[in-house]
Structure 1
Amino acid sequence: MKKILFFMPDNPLKKNAGNRTRALSMLSYFKSRDFEIDFVSEYFTGRWNEADIKAFEQAGLANNTYVIKKKPSKKNILYYLLFYKLPNFFYQNKAWFFPLQFPELVTIRFKRAFKKILNKNNYDYIYINYASWATLVENNHFTKKLIKIIDTHDFITAQHQKKNNIGQSFKEEIRRISLFDIALTISVEEQYIFGQFCKNRVALAPMMMDKPEKLHPIKEKSFDLIYVASDNVHNQKSANWFFKEVYPLLPTNIQICIIGQINEHLSIKASNIVSVIFAEDLSIYYQNAKVALCPMLTGTGTKIKVVEALSYGLPVVCNTRGIDGLINKTNNGCLVSDSPEGFKNNIIILLTDKLAYEKQSREAVDTFSTNYEKEYCYKNLDKLFLK
């Protein structure tokens, strides 16, 4: 039995964002292949509490669970300042006269605790999510004989381009990814970019999902449009664009269901809009909708909500950024426009033209089945992990 140490700073069971869904799918893969899994997370980043930890343990996704705090309590302020704050400042800012220009989330306290786990166990693999946590393996002699994998999730330099020097940030991102034996990317764009500069193996591991079960045709669907989104800044900007520029162009009888924390940032209220802050099971909502929306003006990586919609055979109306990461850019079940008028027209076409709708729905199902269906993706992962 192979043994893996899997680090994810967030709680994968809180399935309210694509990155957590991604981590959950990878844990499920390793579980299905009988790996012994030790799961490590960070208490504050993941917003864990004792109930969350217990629920994760009971979920059976890992053999052992470690939720570590990256900083000590401030009850003894002198100890906190002298033995954590000051040493950690110099640890995280090794070249503090010349800022790193790349997010460093590993603290000296967390890395020490992480090393203790490595020292006590014999692992075959170590799996780190995000380049911003990549230094967990740097200058760490406990990882030398392990196969080191990084799941990049995203192109961080692009995410922080307005804050940091792009050249320095990109150089550091490539350096960190190159610390690993294998880099997994969720999108074809990131596979191409990292593959051009990194000397290690860069493999595409697209978002993988179960094919929806118990699909029952619903003749009278409750919603014309469904929009699922978390509350990150990219979704906030994009949602504001849609409701300011596109929504006023739509007929008022079109029924829209908005699901997710994006609702907390929307001020629009109308009789044709249903808001759901959290849905434990999205299946019933997808089955009750005709078309999925993905307004997306900025951001990188594959949009999980697009893959989810395609799995249900729902055509997707989106901007150009909405098809980022998709393996095939055309004939994929998505209608794309960056203008408000074009976006509106794509919605109207799908809601009024039966033949156009059926064509896009078939392409949606085909795109999902040939690229993102779980068992198909598992076979490709087996080539990496079951040699």
Structure 2
Amino acid sequence: MKKILFVYPHNFLECNMGTNIRVYFLAKELRSLGYEIDLYAFRNFLSIYDDFDEMNCHEKLVNSLYLYDYRETVLFRKRHKIHRYISQVLHNEELENWVTPSMVKQFNEITSSIEYDYIIMFYAYTAELISPGNYRGSSSKIYFMEDLLSVAHFVSGRSKYIGGLLDSEIKRISYFDKIVCISSDEKILFEKLLPNKQFYFLPHLISKKNVTGKLVNKVMKVLFIGYDNEYNIEGMRWFFENVYSHILVDIELIVVGKVTKYIDGSYPNLRKIEYVENLRELYLNVDMVICPLQNGTGMKIKVVEAMSYGIPIVCTSRGVDGLPDKNRNGCLVSDTPEGFADAINRLATNTALYKECQMKINEYFSEILDWAVYKEMLPKLFD
């Protein structure tokens, strides 16, 4: 049986944010193909691993769990703070590098004691682990590009200059044998920058849902799902501060996830739910999904999941990031508060428009995003 090592900082069994859901379904598919999966993850970062064995016992997606203490990275970065400051002054700041000598040592001990056929990594922050100077093994290396990290740092204001960030991201991605992009946009960009590498477009691994007989609620239920990352917080605040007052129809607004902690003020038609166990039940009971994000890269998992249920979506331009077609996917897109609210108002009051959006989303998802379209790609990737 072939063995794979996932290098992913989070506990992906916690399906509480888009990237975890993406990695979880990838692991399920690879296990169904007969691969054994070990996970190299971070403690003292975001995830908690106290209940990992209990969470893993049902599906047994992970054979062995290896944990690196992220506090080592924090201390290492503090000791080298002056070097980062000089780089910023010289405008050649690199993308964050989480790799430390102790991480390299631990990683090489693991990969030399177990013969992995593949190493799969999801963030370029840890790519130096498999650089020619650090990695001593011979496993095939595959990068699943979930986000364009250099652009994300730049647009969020964490870095003033993008040149050094992008250069370092290109360099780290060049360490891999194959690069799998969740975003069509990022595949097109990077295959031009690294013409000698193999690139693939593989959207979120999700299938079309059978929702025959689903009825629209009399008071339309409008949903936003969001983990408490900076993009979701920013998007929700933009919505309530700029869009909410322009909504003229009677709706029930449902916000789900840790982002609820950052909604200021009270709204009579708002229901906040921090955690939902059954997302299918939630999607089957809502009529519309919104994605008011102002920033971000990659593909929005929340948008793709809504599309799999044929639910009409109102979003900003960031909501259709990563989709091969930005105009004919069935989503209503607006970047202005008035336009965003108007799209909600029209969907809530215009039955013909609502059904038209449903039809377009169903057709687009079946042709472009359905896992059935890409099912043959995964075995070929690992051939």
TM-score, L = length of structure 1: 0.89
Q: Distance in 2 between matches of 1:264 and 1:224?
A: 20
Q: Distance in 2 between matches of 1:47 and 1:119?
A: 26
Q: Distance in 2 between matches of 1:168 and 1:102?
A: 7
Distance 1:36 1:221, change over 3 A: farther
Aligned residue for 1:77?
none
* Matching of residue 122 in structure 1 with residue 118 in structure 2: no
Q: Distance in 2 between matches of 1:324 and 1:180?
A: 24
Distance 1:298 1:383, change over 3 A: same
Aligned residue for 2:99?
106
Q: Which amino acid aligns with 2:175?
A: L
Show CA shifts across 1:231-263 (max 9, x none).
Answer: 211122221111122111113621111111111
Which residue of the other structure, out of 294, 313, 319, is the alignment partner of 2:316?
319
Q: Is the 8 A contact 1:234 1:299 kept in 2?
A: yes
* Matching of residue 209 in structure 1 with residue 184 in structure 2: no
Which residue of the other structure, out of 167, 178, 184, is the alignment partner of 2:180?
184
Q: Is the 8 A contact 1:228 1:305 kept in 2?
A: yes
Q: Distance in 1 between matches of 2:206 and 2:243?
A: 31
Q: Distance in 1 between matches of 2:301 and 2:76?
A: 40
* Matching of residue 150 in structure 1 with residue 139 in structure 2: no
Q: Secondary structure at the match of 1:255?
A: strand
- Unaligned regions of 5+ residues in structure 1, if any? 73-79
Aligned residue for 2:43?
43
Q: Which amino acid aligns with 1:122?
A: E
Q: Which amino acid aligns with 1:184?
A: V
Q: Is the 8 A contact 1:5 1:125 kept in 2?
A: yes
Distance 1:96 1:317, change over 3 A: closer
Q: Distance in 1 between matches of 2:360 and 2:77?
A: 55
Give 1:41 shift. Answer: 0.9
Q: How does 1:360-375 map to 2 (within 5 A)?
A: 360-375=357-372
Distance 1:20 1:377, change over 3 A: same
Show CA shifts across 1:251-300 (max 9, x none).
Answer: 36211111111110002322211111111112122111111111121111
Aligned residue for 1:278?
275
Q: Distance in 2 between matches of 1:93 and 1:367?
A: 50
Q: Distance in 2 between matches of 1:86 and 1:307?
A: 38
* Matching of residue 265 in structure 1 with residue 262 in structure 2: yes
* Matching of residue 255 in structure 1 with residue 252 in structure 2: yes
* Matching of residue 169 in structure 1 with residue 165 in structure 2: yes
Show CA shifts across 1:131-176 (max 9, x none).
Answer: 1111111123433x22101112111111111333311111000000
* Matching of residue 18 in structure 1 with residue 12 in structure 2: no
Q: Which amino acid aligns with 1:288?
A: N
**What root-mean-square deviation, in Å, do the aligned CA atoms of Structure 1 and Structure 2 show?**
2.4
Which segment drifts farther, 256-265 or 97-106? 97-106
TM-score, L = length of structure 2: 0.90
Q: Is the 8 A contact 2:39 2:62 kept in 1?
A: yes
* Matching of residue 6 in structure 1 with residue 6 in structure 2: yes
Aligned residue for 1:76?
none
Give 1:59 shift. Answer: 3.5
Q: Distance in 2 between matches of 1:45 and 1:365?
A: 38
Q: Is the 8 A contact 1:101 1:168 kept in 2?
A: yes
Q: How does 1:59-70 map to 2 (within 5 A)?
A: 59-70=59-70
Give 1:47 shift. Answer: 2.5
Q: Is the 8 A contact 2:143 2:178 kept in 1?
A: yes
Q: Secondary structure at the match of 2:376?
A: helix
Distance 1:109 1:266, change over 3 A: same
Q: Is the 8 A contact 1:332 1:364 kept in 2?
A: yes
* Matching of residue 140 in structure 1 with residue 134 in structure 2: yes
Q: Which amino acid aligns with 1:159?
A: A
Q: Is the 8 A contact 1:70 1:110 kept in 2?
A: no
Aligned residue for 1:197?
193
Q: Distance in 1 between matches of 2:105 and 2:83?
A: 17
Q: Is the 8 A contact 1:70 1:109 kept in 2?
A: no
